[in-house]
């Protein structure tokens, strides 16, 4: 697929390379090293290689020679291929794109990116899970990272956020403890990519400030259907500063154009077995298909007066500002439109840093943000091996870079000329013939720290204004639909049932009682407690009458179309060819994908006598991989597969996961074999002919048939 101009606008740092002699990869994004013009292999030093498959030996059966520089170089480089994986957010997936400003906001910020309507700023976005290591499954119950690097004209701005607008802790000094507790225990090195264990809940139950976040992570937000169907949040309160130097507080939001969607827990567990790469595959496939996901960037802007009158401290990252209190204003759109050329060069080496901001945007004194500003730079030094990681193309700004920094590991560019310090008294501007004096700071154009008043005695205390830990946790819970509340109760019961120590389980119930007594009781029953443990003493009594915030529910913000989703069509011998074609077309017309599943990967002969090839064999294409399913097969085939385990699972799981199920009347024997015939509800759609396909796909726009009673128990 043709790549967008986004990537190719990236400048090459190899500078004077003669295009006649060198072949650079498209966009120059990853292969900055010149490649030979023909296909003769060379060493890394550029010398042509005669034999790359046999190490030089003393005689055909003799010992290998150390002098074989070709073999040694090849093995040496291989030995050093790995860099440390990220200590958190190790499992991630990056995509190129661009941000287009739709509404200028000079009244709030003088940043160029917020002032030139229609301007397309190149971006690189990396989605991630937090706890799992690089090879962990995609659909682990976990927070998702949503980090975007904007290559603005005034330098790189990194918005390093999550798909949840709050965080576990209020002060960065607690972060190592949180992450140690969440990651595999140090003695046994398990469990991987899971929070359902003693250490995590021990830490959480001793950290009341985490309770709001606990409600979010026990909701379906932590098992998103795909990256494309998640919101993103900058989490912290930042500042926007205008040309007059006046500041407003701001919270950043990403709103997915495709709407919100999550999977069910039982589904997540099975997806991880069927396709551990479910999320990255979904992203790769949709980008390759030209189906580019988009998010609107929204801002919640408020001033000191609002902050002073708000029930909570806006510097406390365990709190939201409800959208109903301060509306989210959409100012632009992010479009992700190009997969990487090389995963390591781009996704692995991208170095997000919260301190990467541009003039017109500033920090606040949020103690979590301030700690992060130290941590990200530090971690990149370790991961990428030196201070010159901004020379790596994916991290390099796409605007002029001028400073007196020099040398260090892997320096790709050093300042030219004699002046490498300032002040200096060399003469000319940089582009003059005289000895250049080098760049100078410019107060009128450069970054100016917002002049907030910040003085006080040195203390180690948590501000009293951070003491309310339960009110917004409760607000989140009561804002959910009954289905979502059930899922939260079930998630808590599941996680706590994996905790072996009874005192930890009870302590958690003691917290839940501050949030919702009904929820606490359900979970206590679920984990078999005979009596309710006492409430954990609260630092501050919760406010129990905060209004519901519909913006917090996934189901209330679901889409009304099947766009971007995937239909699984299970075909077998004798299936109606016209219906299969009509389903594929209807899905395509709705902007969705359709995949053919069959008992054999070779496909199945349909009613027209033609063999339709399959993309998945039934045991490699379980229904958990699809948003809705259709079963199109002849009567004999349906009877034949009525006792086939993968076929039964296909139907049973689709039913249990509240999916819409279309079927041709001939397929009923399979529905009977799967035991769902007697339970058929309005989530089943009979395909009487090709003309019923459109109606089915329209029905699928609701994504799930939530009324199916079984789901409420899942
Ligand atoms: Fe991070 N976090 N974090 N974090 N974080 C990292 O930086 C850290 C926090 C987030 O795709 C690390 O490059 C501290 C909140 C994302 O490359 C590290 C604290 C939020 C990513 C680090 C936090 C995030 C990271 C590890 C407590 C949401 C992945 C590797 C104050 C607003 C970026 C790296 C990518 C990555 C530190 C808390 C989001 C160690 C100390 C809150 C999306 O620097």
- Distance CA(397)–CA(379), nearest Å, equals 19
The Cα 479–Cα 551 span in angstroms is 8
Tell me what the mean pLDDT of segment 455-459 comes to.
Answer: 92
Ligand 1 near 126 CB (within 6 A) = yes
Whether 30 is covered by a domain: the verdict is no
In a domain, 674, yes or no: yes
pTM for this one? 0.95
69 in catalytic set: no
**Nearest residue to 599 (alpha-carbon basis) of 646, 563, 639, 560:** 646
Nearest residue by C-alpha to atom 16 in ligand 1 = 145
Residue 112: closest CA among 451, 397, 327:
397
**Rounded Cα–Cα distance for residues 705 and 629 (Å):** 13
Which residue's structure tokens are 């992060």? 372
Determine if ligand 1 sits within 6 Å of the CB of residue 510: no
In angstroms, the CA 401 to CA 411 distance is 14
Residue with tokens 């190592």: 176
Same domain, 538 and 673: no
Residue-wise pLDDT for 93-123, tens only, equals 999 999 999 999 999 999 999 999 999 999 9
* Ligand 1 contact via 165 beta carbon (within 6 Å): no
The CATH number for 657's domain is 3.40.50.880
Q: Is 376 in the pocket of ligand 1 (CB under 6 A)?
A: yes
Nearest CA to ligand 1 atom 42: 167
Active-site option among 89, 236, 391, 487: 89
- Closest ligand 1 atom to residue 127 Cα is 11
Residue ending a domain, choose from 341, 375, 391: 391
- Note whether 536 and 564 are same-domain residues: no
The stretch 319-327 carries a mean pLDDT of: 97
Quick: pLDDT tens for 276-287.
999 999 999 999
Evaluate whether 200 touches 181 at the Cβ level (below 8 Å): yes
Give, as one character, the DSSP assignment of residue 594: E
Cα–Cα distance between 634 and 567 in angstroms, integer? 20
Q: What is the pLDDT of residue 34?
A: 55
Q: CATH number of the domain that 168 lies in?
A: 2.40.180.10
Euclidean distance between CA atoms 601 and 584, whole angstroms: 18
Do 542 and 582 fall into the same domain? no
Cα of 252 vs centre of ligand 1, distance in Å, is: 16
Average model confidence (pLDDT) across the chain: 93
Q: Which atom of ligand 1 is nearest to the CA of 369?
A: 31
The protein residue with its alpha carbon nearest to ligand 1, atom 8, reads 372
State if residue 237 touches ligand 1 by the CB under 6 angstroms criterion.
no
Q: Please, are residues 333 and 294 in contact by the beta-carbon 8 Å criterion?
A: yes
380 CA closest ligand 1 atom index: 13
Whether 179 is in a domain gets the answer yes
Angle at 263 between CA 512 and CA 488, to 5 degrees: 10
| Token pair 């769902």: residue | 676
> Where does the pLDDT of residue 25 fall: very low under 50, low under 70, confident under 90, or very high at 90 and above?
very low
Instruction: Please tell me if the CB atom of residue 352 comes closer than 6 angstroms to any atom of ligand 1.
Output: yes
Residue 110 sits in the same domain as residue 146: yes
Same domain, residue pair 626 and 523: no
Give, for ligand 1, the residue of 376, 380, 384, 385 to mutate: max count of ligand atoms closer than 8 Å to Cβ. 376
Cα 500 vs. chain centroid, distance in angstroms? 31
Q: Report d(CA 301, CA 296) in Å as an integer.
A: 16
Distance 147 CA to ligand 1 centre (A): 9
* Catalytic residue of the set 30, 156, 162, 388: 162
pLDDT digits (tens, 9 = 90+) for 396-434: 999 999 999 999 999 999 988 899 999 999 988 777 778
Whether residue 457 lies inside any domain: the answer is no
- The reported pLDDT for the residue numbered 13 is 31
The proportion of the chain whose per-residue pLDDT surpasses 70, expressed as a percent, equals 94
In a domain, 180, yes or no: yes
3-state DSSP call for residue 94?
A: strand
Residue that is last in its domain, among 517, 537, 555: 555
- Same structural domain for residues 528 and 626? no
Q: How confident is the model at residue 36 (pLDDT cuts 50, 70, 90)?
A: low
Express each pLDDT in 562-620 by its tens digit. 999 999 999 999 999 999 999 999 999 999 999 999 999 999 999 999 999 999 999 99
Residue 290 belongs to a domain: yes
Q: How far apart are CA 384 and CA 375, in angstroms?
A: 14
pLDDT at 492: 98
What pLDDT does 37 receive?
Answer: 60
Asked if pLDDT for residue 259 goes beyond 50, the answer is yes
Residue 145 CA to ligand 1 center (angstroms) comes to 8
Q: How many domains does the chain have?
A: 3
* Residues 574, 637 contacting (CB under 8 angstroms): yes
Please say if the pLDDT value at position 10 is more than 90.
no
**Is 259 contained in some domain?**
yes
Ligand 1 centre from 393 Cα, in Å?
21
Residue 263: strand, helix, or coil:
coil
Domain boundary among 336, 361, 391: 391
What local confidence, expressed as pLDDT, does residue 301 receive?
98
Q: Which of 589, 548, 587, 543 is nearest to 569 (CA)?
A: 587
Q: 487 and 575, same structural domain?
A: no
Please tell me the distance between residue 225's alpha carbon and the centre of ligand 1 in angstroms: 22
* Phi, psi dihedrals of residue 475, rounded to the nearest 5°: -60, -40
pLDDT > 80? residue 19: no
Residues 151-170: tens digit of each pLDDT: 999 999 999 999 999 999 99
For residue 295, how far is its CA from the centre of ligand 1 (angstroms)? 21
Neighbours of 341 (CB within 10 A): 17
pLDDT the model gives residue 688: 94
Quote the domain boundaries for residue 220: 92-391
Q: Is 89 a catalytic residue?
A: yes
Q: How far is the CA of 275 from the centre of ligand 1 (A)?
A: 26
Q: Is 86 in the pocket of ligand 1 (CB under 6 A)?
A: yes
Q: Report the pLDDT value the prediction gives residue 189, as an integer from 0 to 100.
A: 98
User: Is the confidence at residue 26, as pLDDT, over 50?
Assistant: no
Q: Does residue 121 lie in a domain region?
A: yes
DSSP per residue, 296-356? EEEEEEE-HHHHHHSSS-TT-TT----TTTS--EEEEEEEEEEE-S-HIIIIIT----TT-
State yes or no: pLDDT of 8 exceeds 90.
no
Same domain, 112 and 235: yes
Question: Is the dihedral angle over the CA atoms 29, 30, 36, 40 positive or is it negative?
Answer: negative
Same domain, 256 and 127: yes
pLDDT for residue 15: 34
Confidence tier at 33 by pLDDT (50, 70, 90): low
Q: How confident is the model at residue 558 (pLDDT cuts 50, 70, 90)?
A: confident
Residues 593, 585: Cα–Cα separation, whole Å = 9
145 lines ligand 1 (CB under 6 A): yes
Ligand 1 pocket, residue 389 CB under 6 Å: no
| Ligand 1 pocket, residue 170 CB under 6 Å | no
What length does the chain have? 714
Nearest to residue 283, comparing CAs of 127, 90, 133?
127
Torsion on CA atoms 208, 211, 526, 475, rounded to nearest 10: 130
Q: Do residue 575 and residue 615 come from a single domain?
A: yes
Answer whether 379 contacts ligand 1 (Cβ < 6 A).
yes
Which of 148, 372, 381 has most ligand 1 atoms within 8 Å of CB, for mutation? 372
| CB of 178 sitting under 6 A from ligand 1 | no
CB 564 within 8 A of CB 260: no
Task: Judge if 311 and 280 occupy the same domain.
Answer: yes
In the structure, what pLDDT confidence band is assigned to residue 560 with cuts at 50, 70 and 90? confident
Q: Return the pLDDT at 177.
A: 98
Residue 58 has pLDDT above 80, yes or no: yes
Does residue 370 share a domain with residue 260? yes
As given in the structure block, the two tokens for residue 705 are: 């048939």
- Which of 83, 86, 87, 88 for a ligand 1 pocket mutation test, highest count of atoms within 8 Å of Cβ? 88
Query: Does residue 374 register a pLDDT over 80?
Result: yes
Report pLDDT for 5: 35
Measured between alpha carbons, how far is 700 from 563 in angstroms, rounded to an integer?
Answer: 10
Gap from CA of 511 to ligand 1 centroid (Å): 27
Ligand 1 centre to CA of 54 (Å) is 45
Q: How far apart are CA 419 and CA 416, in angstroms?
A: 8
**% the chain with pLDDT above 90:** 90
- What's the whole-number mean pLDDT along residues 646-658? 98
CATH code of the domain containing 486: 1.20.1370.20
Give the number of other CB atoms < 10 A from CB of residue 325. 14
Task: Tell me how far the alpha carbon of residue 305 lies from the centroid of ligand 1, in angstroms.
Answer: 30
Pairing of strands 684-686, 661-663: parallel
- Counting atoms of ligand 1 from 1, which one is nearest the CA of 176? 41
* Residue 667 · residue 632 · CB < 8 Å: yes
pLDDT of 435 reads: 85
């Amino acid at each position: 697929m043709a790549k967008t101009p986004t990537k190719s606008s990236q400048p090459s740092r190899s500078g004077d390379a003669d295009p006649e002699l060198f072949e650079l990869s498209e966009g120059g994004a990853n292969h900055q090293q010149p490649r030979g013009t023909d296909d003769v292999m060379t060493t890394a030093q550029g010398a042509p290689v005669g034999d790359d498959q046999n190490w030089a030996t003393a005689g055909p059966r003799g010992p290998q020679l150390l002098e074989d520089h070709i073999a040694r170089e090849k093995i040496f480089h291989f030995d050093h291929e790995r860099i440390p994986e990220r200590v958190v957010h190790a499992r991630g997936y990056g995509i190129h794109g661009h941000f287009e400003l739709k509404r200028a906001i000079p009244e709030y910020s003088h940043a160029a990116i917020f002032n030139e309507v229609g301007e397309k700023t190149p971006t690189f976005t990396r989605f991630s899970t937090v706890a799992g290591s690089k090879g962990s499954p995609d659909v682990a119950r976990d927070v998702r990272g949503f980090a975007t690097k904007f290559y603005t004209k005034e330098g790189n701005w990194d918005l390093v956020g999550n798909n949840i607008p709050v965080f576990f802790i209020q002060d960065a000094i607690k972060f190592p403890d949180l992450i140690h507790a969440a990651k595999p225990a140090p003695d046994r090195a398990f469990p991987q990519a899971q929070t359902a264990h003693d250490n995590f809940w021990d830490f959480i139950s001793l950290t009341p400030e985490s309770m709001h976040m606990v409600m979010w992570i026990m909701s379906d937000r932590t098992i998103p259907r795909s990256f494309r169907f998640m919101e993103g949040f900058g989490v912290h309160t930042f500042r926007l500063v205008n040309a007059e130097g006046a500041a407003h507080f701001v919270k950043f939001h990403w709103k997915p154009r495709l709407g919100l969607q999550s999977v069910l827990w039982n589904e997540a567990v099975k997806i991880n077995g069927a396709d551990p790469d479910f999320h990255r595959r979904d992203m790769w496939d949709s980008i390759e298909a030209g189906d580019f996901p988009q998010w609107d960037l929204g801002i919640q802007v408020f001033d000191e007066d609002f902050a002073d009158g708000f029930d909570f401290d806006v510097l406390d990252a365990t709190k939201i500002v409800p959208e109903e209190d301060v509306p989210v204003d959409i100012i632009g759109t992010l479009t992700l439109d190009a997969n990487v050329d090389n995963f390591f060069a781009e996704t692995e080496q991208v170095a997000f840093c919260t301190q990467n901001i541009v003039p017109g945007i500033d920090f606040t004194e949020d103690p979590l943000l301030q700690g992060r500003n130290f941590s990200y730079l530090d971690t990149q030094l370790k991961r990428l091996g030196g201070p010159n990681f901004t020379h790596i193309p994916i991290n390099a700004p796409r605007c002029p870079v001028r400073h007196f920094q020099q040398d260090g590991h892997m320096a790709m560019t050093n300042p030219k000329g004699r002046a490498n310090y300032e002040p200096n008294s060399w003469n000319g501007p940089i582009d003059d013939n005289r000895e250049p004096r080098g760049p100078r700071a410019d107060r009128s154009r450069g970054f100016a720290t917002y002049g907030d008043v910040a003085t006080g005695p040195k203390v180690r205390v948590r501000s009293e204004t951070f003491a309310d830990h339960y009110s917004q946790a409760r607000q989140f819970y009561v804002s959910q639909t009954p289905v979502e509340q059930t899922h939260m109760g079930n998630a808590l019961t599941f996680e706590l049932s994996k905790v072996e120590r009874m005192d930890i389980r009870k302590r958690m119930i003691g917290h839940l009682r501050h949030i919702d007594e009904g929820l606490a009781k359900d979970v206590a029953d679920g984990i078999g407690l005979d009596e309710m443990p006492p409430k954990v003493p609260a630092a501050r009594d919760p406010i129990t009458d905060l209004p519901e915030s519909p913006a917090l529910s996934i189901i209330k913000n679901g889409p009304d179309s099947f766009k971007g989703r995937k239909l699984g069509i299970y075909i077998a011998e004798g299936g109606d060819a016209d219906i299969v074609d009509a389903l594929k077309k209807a899905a395509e017309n709705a902007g969705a994908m359709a995949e053919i599943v069959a008992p054999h990967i070779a496909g199945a002969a349909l009613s027209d006598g033609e063999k339709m090839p399959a993309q998945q064999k039934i045991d490699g294409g379980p229904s958990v991989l699809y948003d809705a399913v259709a079963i199109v097969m002849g009567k004999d085939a349906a009877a034949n597969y009525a006792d086939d385990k993968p076929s039964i699972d296909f139907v049973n799981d689709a039913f249990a996961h509240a999916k819409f199920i279309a079927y041709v009347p001939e397929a009923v024997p399979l529905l009977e074999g799967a035991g769902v015939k007697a339970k058929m509800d309005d989530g089943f759609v009979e395909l009487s002919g090709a003309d019923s396909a459109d109606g089915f796909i329209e029905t699928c726009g609701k994504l799930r048939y939530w009324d199916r009673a079984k789901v409420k128990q899942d």
